[in-house]
Structure 1
Amino acid sequence: MDIRLAEAIALHYYQAAQRDGWTALVQAVADALVDLDAAERHAAAQGRLVSHGYARAPLNG
């Protein structure tokens, strides 16, 4: 990730939290955990599709 993008995201959280660094950090981590959970659920759903034979390509290439 580009450091400038990370800084822009951090600044957004900081400003949204009325310049309260702790609140901004907690909100950023909470949002990241929600995104991680969604990604894990998506990956699990994809795994179930593969295990049910919906993937037609061979696994080794």
Structure 2
Amino acid sequence: MNHEPAERRDGNTPGVETIAVAYLLAAGGDAGLALRRAIADALADLGEAERRTRQRDRLISRGYVRAGPLRGA
């Protein structure tokens, strides 16, 4: 399995260690609670990404129906 480095190379976004420490601090040192919160946030982000994908697919489909297929392409 390929995982990103502990700290991202681009420096623009926090890496795994930074995020893990932030969750652990926010949970008052309770590792179980920190893990559950991180998982809940990841699932919420995944759900939002899936919603956006479905919305984009609907818009693309609607545009194709309105414009029709490209002829001679």
TM-score between the two structures when normalised by the length of structure 2:
0.70
Within 5 A, what are the aligned runs for 1:9-24?
A: 9-24=19-34
Q: Secondary structure at the match of 1:14?
A: helix
Distance 2:47 2:35 in 1: 18
Runs of 5+ consecutive residues of structure 1 not aligned to the other structure: none
Give aligned-pair identity as a percent: 43
Higher RCO, 1 or 2 (CA under 8 Å, sep at least 6)? Answer: 1
Structure 2 unaligned spans of 5+: 8-14
- Kindly report the root-mean-square deviation, in angstroms, between the aligned alpha carbons of the 2 structures: 1.7
Equivalenced residues, count = 56
TM-score w.r.t. the length of structure 1 is 0.83
Is the helix fraction higher in 1 or 2?
1
Q: Which string of whole-angstrom CA distances, capped at 9 and with x for unpartnered residues, describes residues 10-38 of structure 1?
A: 00000000000000000000000000000
**Pair 1:3 & 2:6 matched:** yes
